């Protein structure tokens, strides 16, 4: 080795020796001054050496602690005993927590770190006292818990109040109590920037600021904007220049002996799009002394200001709801009033209806006729008292009963056809015979009038039946009398007529011209008298029901031809042209009687026509009233160009012995019974007959007959 190399080696060894010394010194200093307890223990867990912090922790001086087993100071077992003495797992630090008792029996929670075998069979134990931080953390937690409880208690109190005024009062009172502040107030800022104190809790020693308005210079608009953005002011000493209060503001607060103040804004968000609006300020004052406001106090004030803001929104919502409820209540009251009015009107209407029903019943009960209303199911819905008097059934008993139940099967059979006709919409009139409760028979004239609503639906019908038994009896007597007289007259009249004819031949002697003339007059009168008697007898026979109308299918053309032929001679005599327009239509009729009606009408037409005029006989198929789509009846018409008939006489001439001119019977040789007989014949066929006229221009007499194919039960002879 060269000298140089030896020197280099020597200086290197010196250097590393120095380094080691330095390191040792560093470790010793660290070991000595470390805050954490550091000890060297052997394989048996006996203390070999330790620092000052370890002596403090375990409560013994270093000399006494050396050689002591670790187990003396720890509660329970050391968590990790070496598997066998001297063999901790290599290169692995053990960590955990232990409960250590000092020699003075002071227990402490420590965190340990054991680094095994830092020297062979020697291990480094590091103990850190963690009882202190744990306690302070627990104290902190307890305090937080108390604050949360306090806050929820105050919040609950605030929420329990529904009235805003009460909420504000509770807030200032509670804040004043919790913060032990000298004054707590709420200052309400109006939209125009002005405002005033609206709630306050203040100790009796200090003046009240209730209703006080902050002057504009101490509470300018820019402050309001800052507060609206959420500014919070915590001032420990208003006179401290660091607080930065304007002189005017310091002067203002001095008036009220305010030394410290804490201000938090009460901000409202009106809706999602609008900006925050400053509603007011929650302010705490300390007047006795300066005050350093702590975080908790600031937090409490802010949270309560938020609660007020929520309460405000709720109050506004409530106010809005109350408005809606008020409007709705007013509407409902209106509806109620209207309903009440409607009910009153209805009650009045019902009372009026009841009254008019009673009156109607009173009137109908006083009438000696049967009055009823029958519904579309043929059930009685109204009857007058006469039903009780006649049939022995009270209106109450009859109400709801079917016609068949009330009248019995036989009687119902007779009325059924008319009831059905009425329910199809036609008014009907017929005569019937009924048996009363005492067993006596009565003839009644019955009228049914259909009850048709706006939709043309038949809902029922009104029935009126009047007793015509007396009239019938008189008519029968009169008819019998006329019949007897007519029969009695016919025989002598026939002999008289024959005698006059013989006298006229001159076989019994020649008569003077005057005598011949008188004979002519007597013959004419006899012919007229014979016709009258025959007509009276015809009418009487038809009305008495002795005539049997035997309907069958007849050809209208044949009837017309026969009638025209029968009247041809008379037409020639009166120099009248008779024109017929026959058609092959099958009608349901008794040919003899229809011929009688046709010849009667033709005879009248010829009689009342001037010479050289024309009389027409026509026939047509037409739609009846019951069926609008297809023809159901046949109309015969006899038209002339004669003198015509005044409008007011058109219906009257169908009554017995009625003539337009009373001299007609003499001049035209009429009896005034021809049209009456015609009407009876046509009605027996269920047809109608009527006259139309244009006075001076002529008349038309028309009648209907059923078509054979359309005949109904009602058209059949009864």
Q: Which is nearer to ligand ADP, 370 or 653 (CB)?
A: 653
Minimum CB separation of residue 651 from ligand ADP in Å reads: 11
Q: What's the CA angle centered on 366, arms 362 and 372, to 5 degrees?
A: 75
Residue nearest to ligand ADP (CB): 670
What residues make contact with ligand ADP under the rule CB under 6 A? 604-605, 608, 640, 642-643, 645, 653, 659-661, 664-665, 670-675, 699
> How many CB atoms neighbour CB 698 within 10 A?
22
Closest to ligand ADP by CB, 405 vs 659, is 659
Nearer to ligand ADP, 551 or 602 (CB): 602
Residue 630 Cα distances to 550, 623, 633, angstroms: 26, 6, 9
CB of 518 to ligand ADP, least distance (A): 25
H/E stretch holding 307 = helix 295-366
Q: Which is nearer to ligand ADP, 396 or 696 (CB)?
A: 696
Least Å distance, CB 640 to ligand ADP, is 5
What's the min distance (Å) between Cβ of 617 and ligand ADP?
A: 12
Residue given tokens 């306090």 in the structure block: 150
In terms of Cα–Cα distance, which of 587, 566, 586 is closest to 578?
A: 566
612-639: b (≥16 Cβ within 10 Å) or e: ebebbbbbebeebeeeeeebbbbbbbbb
User: Which residues have CB under 8 Å from 39's CB, separation 6+?
Assistant: 47, 48, 49, 50, 51, 54, 124, 125, 127
Q: Which is nearer to ligand ADP, 385 or 599 (CB)?
A: 599
Supply the minimum distance, in Å, between the C-beta of residue 660 and ligand ADP.
3
Tokens of 245: 């209060």
Distances (CA, A) of 137 to 132, 240, 355: 9, 34, 94
Which CB, 659 or 712, lies closer to ligand ADP? 659
Q: Measured from the CB atom, is 256 or 690 closer to ligand ADP?
A: 690
Q: In what order do the strands lie in the sheet with 183-189?
A: 195-202, 183-189, 276-286, 260-269, 233-235
Tokens 């009565």 appear where? 442
Considering beta carbons, is residue 79 or 695 the nearer one to ligand ADP? 695
Answer whether 571's CB lies under 8 Å from 606's CB: yes
Nearest to residue 436, comparing CAs of 469, 463, 473, 475? 469
Check: CB of residue 442 under 8 Å from CB of residue 433: yes
Residue closer to ligand ADP by CB (options 59, 672) is 672
Could you tell me the smallest distance in angstroms from the CB atom of residue 497 to ligand ADP? 19
- Calpha distance 157→487 (Å, rounded): 123
Tokens of 224: 């309001």
Give 51 or 700: the residue with its C-beta nearer to ligand ADP.
700
Other Cβ atoms less than 10 A from the Cβ of 332: the count is 10
Residue 136 burial (10 A CB sphere; 0-12, 13-18, 19+): exposed
* Residue 565 or 661 having the CB closest to ligand ADP: 661
Cα gap 668→659, rounded to integer Å:
11
Cα distances from 409 to residues 86, 175, 422, 431, in angstroms, run: 133, 100, 19, 18
Instruction: Work out how close the CB of 489 gets to ligand ADP at its nearest, in angstroms, rounded to a whole number.
Output: 18
Q: Which is nearer to ligand ADP, 314 or 665 (CB)?
A: 665
CB of 538 to ligand ADP, least distance (A): 12
Considering the complex, what minimum distance in angstroms separates the CB of residue 638 from ligand ADP?
7
Contact 602, 563 (CB under 8 A): yes
> What CA–CA distance (Å, rounded) separates 412 from 390?
17
- Burial of 90 (C-beta count, 10 Å sphere; 0-12/13-18/19+): exposed
- Output the six-digit token pair for 504: 């006229």
- Comparing CB distances to ligand ADP, the nearer of 675 and 689 is 675
Compute the least distance from the CB of residue 713 to ligand ADP, in Å: 31
> 500-538 burial string, b = 16+ CB within 10 Å, else e?
beebeeeeeeeeeeeeeeeeeebbeebeebbebbebbbb
In whole angstroms, the minimum distance from the beta carbon of 537 to ligand ADP comes to: 15
CB of 604 to ligand ADP, least distance (A): 3
DSSP E strand boundaries for 205-330? 233-235, 260-269, 276-286
Contact criterion met (CB below 8 Å) for 217 and 248: yes
* Least distance between ligand ADP and beta carbon 485 (Å): 19
Closer Cβ to ligand ADP, 604 or 632, answer by number? 604
**Token reading at 433:** 């015979």
Question: Cβ of residue 603: shortest distance to ligand ADP, in angstroms?
Answer: 8
**Closer residue to ligand ADP (CB): 215 or 695:** 695
Q: How far is the CB of 421 from ligand ADP (least distance, A)?
A: 29
């Amino acid at each position: 080795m060269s000298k140089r190399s030896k020197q280099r080696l020597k200086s290197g060894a010196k250097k590393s020796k120095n380094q080691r010394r330095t390191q040792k010194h560093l470790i010793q200093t660290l070991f000595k001054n470390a805050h954490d307890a550091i000890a060297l223990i052997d394989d048996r867990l006996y203390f070999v050496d330790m620092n000052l912090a370890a002596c403090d922790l375990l409560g013994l001086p270093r000399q006494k602690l050396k050689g002591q087993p670790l187990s003396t100071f720890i509660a329970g077992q050391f968590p990790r005993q070496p598997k066998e003495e001297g063999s901790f797992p290599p290169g692995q630090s053990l960590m955990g927590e232990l409960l250590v008792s000092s020699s003075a029996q002071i227990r402490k929670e420590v965190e340990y770190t054991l680094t095994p075998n830092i020297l062979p069979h020697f291990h480094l134990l590091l103990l850190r006292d963690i009882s202190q931080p744990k306690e302070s953390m627990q104290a902190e937690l307890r305090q937080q818990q108390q604050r949360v409880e306090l806050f929820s208690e105050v919040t609950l109190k605030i929420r329990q109040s529904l009235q805003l005024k009460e909420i504000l009062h509770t807030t200032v009172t509670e804040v004043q109590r919790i913060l032990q502040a000298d004054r707590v107030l709420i200052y309400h800022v109006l939209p125009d920037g002005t405002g005033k104190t609206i709630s306050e809790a203040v100790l009796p020693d200090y003046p009240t600021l209730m209703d006080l308005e902050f002057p504009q210079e101490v509470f300018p608009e820019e402050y309001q904007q800052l507060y609206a953005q959420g500014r919070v002011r915590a001032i420990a000493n208003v006179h401290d220049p660091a607080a930065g209060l304007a002189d005017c503001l310091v002067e203002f607060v001095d008036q009220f002996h305010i030394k410290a103040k804490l201000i938090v804004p009460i901000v409202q968000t009106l809706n999602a799009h609008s900006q925050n609006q400053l509603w007011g300020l929650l302010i705490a004052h300390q007047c006795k002394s300066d005050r350093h406001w702590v975080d908790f106090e600031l937090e409490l004030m802010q949270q309560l200001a938020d609660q007020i803001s929520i309460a405000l929104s709720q109050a506004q919502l409530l106010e809005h709801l109350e408005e809606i409820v008020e409007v709705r209540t007013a509407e409902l009251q209106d509806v109620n009033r209207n309903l009440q009015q409607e009910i009153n009107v209805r009650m009045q209407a019902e009372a009026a209806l009841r009254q008019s029903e009673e009156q109607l019943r009173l009137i109908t009960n006083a009438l000696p006729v049967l009055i009823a209303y029958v519904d579309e199911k043929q059930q009685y819905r109204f009857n007058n008292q006469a039903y009780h008097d006649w049939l022995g059934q009270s209106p109450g008993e009859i109400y709801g009963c079917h016609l068949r139940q009330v009248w019995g099967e036989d009687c119902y059979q007779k009325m059924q056809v008319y009831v059905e006709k009425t329910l199809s919409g036609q008014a009907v009139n017929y005569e019937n015979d009924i048996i009363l409760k005492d067993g006596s028979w009565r003839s009644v004239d019955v009228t049914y009038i259909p009850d048709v609503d706006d939709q043309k639906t038949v809902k029922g019908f009104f029935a009126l039946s009047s007793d015509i038994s007396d009239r019938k009896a008189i008519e029968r007597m009169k008819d019998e009398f006329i019949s007897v007289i007519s029969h009695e007259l016919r025989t002598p009249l026939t002999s008289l007529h024959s005698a006059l004819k013989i006298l006229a031949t001159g076989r019994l002697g020649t008569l003077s011209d005057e005598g011949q003339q008188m004979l002519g007059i007597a013959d004419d009168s006899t012919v007229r008298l014979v016709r009258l008697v025959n007509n009276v007898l015809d009418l009487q026979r038809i009305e008495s029901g002795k005539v049997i109308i035997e309907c069958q299918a007849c050809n209208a053309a044949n009837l017309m031809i026969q009638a025209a032929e029968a009247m041809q001679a008379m037409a020639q005599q009166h120099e009248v042209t008779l024109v017929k327009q026959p058609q092959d239509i099958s009608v349901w009729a008794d040919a003899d009687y229809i011929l009688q009606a046709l010849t009667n009408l033709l005879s009248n037409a010829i009689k009342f026509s001037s010479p050289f005029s024309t009389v027409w006989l026509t026939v047509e198929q037409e739609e009846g009233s019951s069926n609008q789509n297809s023809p159901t009846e046949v109309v015969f018409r006899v038209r002339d160009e004669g003198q015509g008939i005044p409008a007011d006489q058109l219906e009257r001439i169908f009554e017995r012995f009625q003539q337009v001119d009373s001299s007609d019977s003499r001049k035209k040789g009429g009896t005034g019974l021809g049209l009456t007989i015609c009407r009876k014949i046509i009605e027996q066929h269920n047809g109608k007959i009527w006259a139309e006229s244009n006075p001076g221009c002529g008349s038309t007499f028309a009648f209907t007959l059923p078509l054979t194919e359309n005949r109904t039960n009602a058209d059949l002879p009864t």
